[in-house]
């Protein structure tokens, strides 16, 4: 969606979250993929909040840092827009509309679904095919976001010297990743992917390989960091480092970490309630966990025990080769946070 170029070939997938910039570069030979470079760089506090970018310059500096750390030479990239900042809807239009008139017709149709003036919106569409309800109609996937959401990301990337060729919805990127690189999508009729980010936690539910439900809510690893700050009198940076390294007082696990993990379980339960209520479905075959919070030891087992649905960490890289310049141990520890940038990087091979 929101493509700016018709060029084909490898793209850097760049994910800008509320706490970090994540980059991955892939190459492909046949059906096999290789990670050629990757990197993660923290964002300064205040640069972004709950997926809104407040300081494009600070984000641009973080992108420069992650480019240097990854040692990539590429400057062509795909960026993501959080699904919570977008409208993503399937609409039906007459199948008889000529291709040359389709964009104008979609623009007219879009006005009834987009609560902003059309001159303040970036939108794109994809023809899905014949409508299931009427052979005289065709289904079209409409995606739209406020222009400012796109422009602030473009500005940050361009400050870092990047050429942005695609801006896509994160939910579309994750769908592409799972349909391309994750066998579980084919094995299970209904698969839920829960992403525990720094300040936002989201869910994408796949039915037969297609995302049918997406939702985000304010909750994430920052809350655990803030609790560590307050309880142990540390700065935010010190608390984050202590959380990562595990050098905290003896009472940390029962008094701080376990209550946070219980809250993570409640977030998943709430997501599933929303899904069941909105779709009238009552079955999830499997839950996969992603994001930084998914790295908390034992959280997959705890969610599985509480909810009764098989749960595991998402790993689309089980059959992927790593370039010799990629540190295997470091990459493995970062895998839960790399789903969105990998889905974005895959856009270069379409």
Confidence of residue 84 (pLDDT cuts 50, 70, 90): confident
Residue 107: per-residue pLDDT: 85
Report the distance separating Cα 144 and Cα 90, nearest Å: 12
Report the distance separating Cα 169 and Cα 314, nearest Å: 20
Report the distance separating Cα 271 and Cα 200, nearest Å: 13
Question: Over the stretch 104-131, which tens digit does the pLDDT of each residue have?
Answer: 888 888 888 888 888 898 888 888 888 8
In three-state secondary structure terms, 303 is helix
Question: Over the stretch 184-216, which tens digit does the pLDDT of each residue have?
Answer: 565 667 899 999 988 889 998 988 777 888 888
Report the distance separating Cα 152 and Cα 268, nearest Å: 31
Confidence of residue 240 (pLDDT cuts 50, 70, 90): confident
The sheet carrying 86-94 orders its strands as 86-94, 137-146, 121-130
Find the helix packing angle between 258-279 and 221-232, rounded to 10°: 150
The pLDDT of 269-289, averaged and rounded, is 90
Can you list the domains of the chain with their CATH numbers? 12-83+147-182+316-349 (3.30.420.40), 85-146 (3.30.1490.300), 196-313 (3.30.420.40)
Residue 4: per-residue pLDDT: 47
Provide the mean pLDDT of the chain.
Answer: 89
Report the distance separating Cα 261 and Cα 339, nearest Å: 22
């Amino acid at each position: 969606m929101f493509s700016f170029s018709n060029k084909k070939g490898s793209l850097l997938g760049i994910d800008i979250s509320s706490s970090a910039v994540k980059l991955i570069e892939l190459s492909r030979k046949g059906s096999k993929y290789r990670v050629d470079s990757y990197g993660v760089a923290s964002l300064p506090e205040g640069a972004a909040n709950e997926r809104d970018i407040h300081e494009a310059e600070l984000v641009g500096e973080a992108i420069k840092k992650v480019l240097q750390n990854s040692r990539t030479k590429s400057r062509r990239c795909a960026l993501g827009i959080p699904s919570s900042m977008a409208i993503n809807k399937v609409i039906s239009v007459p199948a008889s509309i000529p291709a040359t008139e389709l964009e104008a017709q979609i623009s007219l149709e879009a006005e009834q679904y987009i609560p902003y003036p059309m001159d303040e919106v970036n939108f794109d569409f994809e023809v899905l095919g014949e409508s299931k309800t009427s052979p005289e109609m065709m289904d079209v996937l409409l995606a739209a976001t406020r222009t400012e959401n796109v422009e602030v990301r473009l500005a940050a990337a361009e400050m870092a010297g990047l050429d942005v060729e695609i801006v896509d919805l994160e939910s579309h990127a994750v769908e592409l990743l799972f349909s391309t690189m994750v066998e579980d999508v084919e094995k299970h009729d209904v698969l839920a992917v829960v992403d525990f980010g720094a300040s936002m936690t989201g869910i994408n539910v796949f039915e037969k390989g297609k995302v049918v439900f997406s939702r985000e809510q304010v909750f994430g690893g920052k809350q655990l960091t803030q609790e560590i700050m307050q309880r142990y009198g540390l700065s935010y940076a010190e608390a984050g480092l202590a959380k990562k390294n595990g050098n905290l007082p003896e009472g940390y696990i029962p008094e701080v970490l376990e209550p946070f993990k219980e809250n993570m379980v409640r977030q998943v339960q709430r997501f599933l309630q929303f899904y069941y209520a909105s779709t009238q479905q009552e079955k999830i075959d499997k839950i996969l966990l992603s994001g930084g919070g998914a790295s908390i030891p034992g959280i997959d087992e705890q969610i599985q025990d509480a909810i009764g649905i098989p749960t595991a960490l998402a790993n689309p890289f089980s059959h992927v080769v790593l370039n010799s310049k990629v540190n295997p141990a470091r990459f493995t520890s970062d895998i839960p946070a790399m789903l969105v940038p990998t889905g974005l990087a895959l856009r270069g091979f379409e």
